[in-house]
Structure 1
Amino acid sequence: MPDASDSHRDIHWPSGFSPAQAHSFCQAEAVVHAPPATAFALLADVPGWPGWVPGITEARPGPLARTYEVLFHGQRFEVFVGEQVTPRRLGWSGVGAGVQVYQAWLLTAVGGGTHAVVANVVRGPAAKSLAVLFPEWEQHLNTLWMARLKRLSESAPDGGDGSMRAVGGSPC
């Protein structure tokens, strides 16, 4: 079971998706040398995810506002953007075959850029199986996602250079 004490205190977890209720939980953070609005614009552009998010090959608008259909490693997910406070907070939930996920992003202005935090809670039989077969799967994806967000944000006209590290959670 993940250690809920590793969760960032400013993340708003929806009912049923706290780290204490997860089958997998992990968190990563980085300093992105670009303004929060630059990183936020990349994260909030769900149809643009296939161009830079690891494993996502398709993302298109769903039938309702703030919903999307996303193909992640060939698996279909229904995604709902639940929390969006421009340019500081973004949270979305996704439901796929045997898995439910909630991913939260916090973007805080700091000297020279943005402190970015991403945290995931994953539930369901698929999450349990992956945790047994490849315990570091989620942390690996978080690290790749964060590295690409950094690279794209920092290569934007208002970007720069920065550093990244993974933190907290169980080995997920």
Structure 2
Amino acid sequence: MAHRLRAVGLDFVEVAPVRMVFAREMAAGPEAVYRALADDVPGWPEWFSAVTFARPTGDGSTREIHLRGGGRFQETIIAAKEPEVYAYRVDVANTPGVRAFAEEWRLTPSGTGTHVRWTFAIDGTAPIRFAVKLASSGLGRAFRGAVAELDRRLAASEGPS
């Protein structure tokens, strides 16, 4: 059953009751990483193994996301500033107990590559907050694997120099 979540803005990623921040370096430049995040939403399942389906909806300011394990989300883009930040909030989720949920991808030039920082921010009932905290190491592994796979794909799409 789908549940409507509280609408939050970009500031939520800094003040949420549960925040997890993961970071990793990529060889690809910020512009290429941003395009993969924001412009190629249907491509997410090719590099982020937790995502099984992704598509922009409406005029592109919203998304539909399906996760491995059955999670289903309707999201709204809350920040799209190329090539620095891409963030979205979950408006509708099929997970009971979640009250508000947003994610932010912050991209910073690092040498010829990109420093990627992903913030996972959530508010929910006590059992949800506890479960998310327990899942921290798994979320970190998923993030690291996704960023590594995206970096490989972006390098392959550039071809030989």
TM range (shorter): 0.7 to 0.9
How does 1:1-172 map onto structure 2 within 5 Å?
Answer: 14-15=10-11, 17-23=12-18, 25-44=19-38, 45-63=40-58, 65-73=60-68, 74-94=70-90, 95-96=92-93, 97-98=95-96, 99=98, 100-125=100-125, 127-131=128-132, 134-157=135-158
Percent identity reads: 25
Letter in 1 for 2:119: A
- Separation of aligned partners in 2, 1:71 and 1:89: 22
Misfit runs of 4+, over 3 Å: 131-135
Look up the SS of the partner of 1:92 in the other structure.
strand
The TM-score normalised by the length of structure 2 is 0.74
1:135 positional shift: 4.7
Unmatched runs of 5 consecutive residues or more in structure 2: 1-8
The TM-score normalised by the length of structure 1 is 0.70
Greater share of residues in helix = 2
Look up the SS of the partner of 1:118 in the other structure.
strand
Unmatched runs of 5 consecutive residues or more in structure 1: 1-12, 161-172
RMSD over aligned Cα, in angstroms? Answer: 2.6
